[in-house]
């Protein structure tokens, strides 16, 4: 393959970044292969999707005197191709055999963006790299890969079929599910302390943590597990499940929680989470043959009823 092979240019921002950055990476003598992963490779990307690049480096003797560390070479090439003033990035991990950096390019501005959104157009990007002897470390969990470049000296075993759209859902872990079923009640038991102390920010973070845990449980009910990235949730839930969350947490009309910051609202949100949990958790326990944490539920609800003035004496699920 002599020149990069890009996916269809349906997303001007990402396409512009790819056609600017990838030739610069490919021109490096030790580059053996470059490929895309994530939503751009799967075919379900949107205008906010990051550009997830993986690169195989052909340096067979890492640390050899006089050779620049690959991560430094990549950082310099990113600044050269995209413009130093246009990029912000951080080196997340780095070793002699591989590394990972992430950032944002604020200077990739397409003609389409200029028409609709004057000003800088941001594109998030990720670059993971490994030596050719260690390229197995770049394994992709869902197998979705779009090969951009191969020097012919390295065979990339997997390449996603065009047009296939699939979310990166991992397998459900029964031990994690069992722990999360109990963890829900342990987290909820912290509510009286933060509400009683008028810790509005702490209440917000606590309920957000409980909500995220509950979403993960429902995804497990659907037979999978979410990746660590939190930018997308809708695609992992069924339509009825999504509607239940949005309606219960009052997100559908305003796009945000109403009356945020009031004591009654924190309690109302917590009750809504309990309703959702009591609807989905029994199904989850049955699906994976787990013991439903009835004692934890009864104990925490009794505690909340005593400690929180506005906590309902009885919560119905229906």
Say if residue 178 is in the same domain as residue 295.
yes
How far is it, in rounded angstroms, from Cα 134 to Cα 131? 5
Contact between 218 and 244 under an 8 Å Cβ cutoff? The reply is: no
Query: What is the pTM (predicted TM-score) of this model?
Result: 0.62
Strand partners, 105: 87, 123
- Of 150, 183, 216, which closes a domain? 150
Split at pLDDT 50, 70, 90, the class of 231 is: low
DSSP label at 234? Answer: G
Say if residue 219 is in the same domain as residue 277.
yes
How far is it, in rounded angstroms, from Cα 265 to Cα 246? 15
Q: Which range marks the domain in which residue 267 is found?
A: 170-307
Q: Which token pair is 308?
A: 């929180």
Specify if 318 maps to a domain: no
Q: What percent of the chain has pLDDT over 90?
A: 34
Mean pLDDT of 178-192: 95
Residues whose CB is less than 8 angstroms from the CB of residue 30 and which lie 6 or more positions away in sequence, other chains included: 57, 58, 59, 70
pLDDT at position 258 over 80: no
Domain count, the chain: 2
Say if residue 129 is in the same domain as residue 222.
no
Mean pLDDT of 253-277: 72
Say if residue 112 is in the same domain as residue 192.
no
CATH number at residue 104: 3.30.460
- Of 118, 150, 182, which closes a domain? 150
**Which residue, 202, 148, 197, 211, is CA-closest to 307?**
197
């Amino acid at each position: 393959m002599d020149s990069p092979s890009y996916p269809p240019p349906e997303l001007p921002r990402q396409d512009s970044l790819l056609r600017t950055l990838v030739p610069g990476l490919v021109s490096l003598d030790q580059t053996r292969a470059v490929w895309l992963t994530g939503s751009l490779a799967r075919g379900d990307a949107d205008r906010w999707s990051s550009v997830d690049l993986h690169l195989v480096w052909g340096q067979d003797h890492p640390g050899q005197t006089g050779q620049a560390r690959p991560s430094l070479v990549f950082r310099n090439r990113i600044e050269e191709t995209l413009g130093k003033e246009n990029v912000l990035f951080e080196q997340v991990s780095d070793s002699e055999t591989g590394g990972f950096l992430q950032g944002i390019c604020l200077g990739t501005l397409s003609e389409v963006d200029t028409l609709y959104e004057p000003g800088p157009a941001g594109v998030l990007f990720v670059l993971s790299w490994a030596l050719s002897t260690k390229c197995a470390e770049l394994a992709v969990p869902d197998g979705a890969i779009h090969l951009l470049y191969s020097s012919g000296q390295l065979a990339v075993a997997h390449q996603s079929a065009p047009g296939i759209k699939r979310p990166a859902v991992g397998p459900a872990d029964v031990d994690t599910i069992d722990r999360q079923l109990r963890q829900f009640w342990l987290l909820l038991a912290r509510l009286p302390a933060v509400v009683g102390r008028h810790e509005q920010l702490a209440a917000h973070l606590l309920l957000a943590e409980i909500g995220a845990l509950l979403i993960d449980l429902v995804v497990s009910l659907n037979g999978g597990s979410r990746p660590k990235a939190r930018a997308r949730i809708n695609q992992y839930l069924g339509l009825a499940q999504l509607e239940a969350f949005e309606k219960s947490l009052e997100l559908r009309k305003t796009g945000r929680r109403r009356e945020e910051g009031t004591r009654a609202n924190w309690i109302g949100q917590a009750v809504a989470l309990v309703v959702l949990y009591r609807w989905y958790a029994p199904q989850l326990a049955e699906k994976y043959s787990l013991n439903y944490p009835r004692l934890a539920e009864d104990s925490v609800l009794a505690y909340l009823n005593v400690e929180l003035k506005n906590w309902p004496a009885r919560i119905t699920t229906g």
